Amino acid sequence: MKLNVVPAATGAQWVRLGVRTFFRRPIALAGLFFMFMAALSLLAVVPLIGGVLALVLVPALTVGLMAAARAADAGNFPLPGILFVAFHQGREQTRAILILGGVYAVAVLLVVGLTALIDGGRFAQLYMGGGSMSNELINDPGFITALWVSTLLYLPVSLAFWHAPALVHWHRLPPLKSLFFSAVAVLRNARAFLVYGLLWMGLSLGVGLFLMLVLAMTAMSTDIGVATAALFPLSVIIAAMFFTSLWFTFRDSFTADDEPLIEIPEP
């Protein structure tokens, strides 16, 4: 397996391909993303272990969304069962993707747990579904600090797990080795991923601001419920397009050709 180093402009291409592929099969891909969120949400409400189980399944279900994007890009219609494709590759592969999920759960819980040292656990409680956002939280300096710290601490976790599920599934790498290769691939293509991230951030903010402008022009801006109801389906669509684009970041970052651009050294 080899690593491709791509130009910065490829980040914009990933965004464009994600959006274009989503609109090839919008109902299927949006429905699969909704299934993804619903499955994790249902697990999360199970007492004591639900939140952990939901985190363990994130890598496997992410593979399913990437496989759906791959199918849509090839002109096929992704059926609902594709969301669980990571569990259709035999016992060894199922074990590998679940081990990766276990490592992901530990990493996320460690990040969230560390924020409790800052705000007394308010952010951790909210993250684990034990509370709701309120004006009091938003105005709490400790909570805001914990939010930013969690974001910074999650960055290395994101680097390690960005390609890892796909590497375990499509290249059959061991879980720990997939984390190494994923981090190397993202760092080597940092410029492309920077463009990619900025464009998705800009798209998300732009859609939100546009909706607020429309609400203001129609004299509904004071109705928070209307704004929230309108933002939810849009946020789901944007998130579904983002997850669709993940396949292209993986596809272009690795190659099995005999003459690759760069060979990744063994860890």
pLDDT of the residue at 232: 73
What pLDDT tens digit does each residue of the chain (267 aa) get? 789 999 999 999 999 999 999 999 999 999 999 999 999 989 988 887 888 999 999 999 999 999 999 999 999 999 999 999 999 989 999 999 999 999 999 999 999 999 888 888 778 777 776 566 666 667 777 888 888 888 899 999 999 999 999 999 999 999 999 999 999 999 999 999 999 999 999 988 887 777 667 666 665 444 555 555 666 788 889 999 999 999 999 999 998 754 433 334 433
Q: At 3, phi and psi to the nearest 5?
A: -105, 135
pLDDT at 1: 76
| Whole-number pLDDT of residue 262 | 38
Q: Which CA distances in Å does 111 have to 48, 54, 182, 230? A: 18, 16, 19, 32
Q: Token match 């375990």: residue?
A: 168
Q: What is the pLDDT of residue 129?
A: 64
Residue type, 230: A
CA distance 40 to 34: 10
Dihedral of the alpha carbons of 199, 61, 103, 15, in degrees to the nearest 10 = -10
Residues in the chain: 267
What residue ranges do the domains of the chain occupy?
15-258
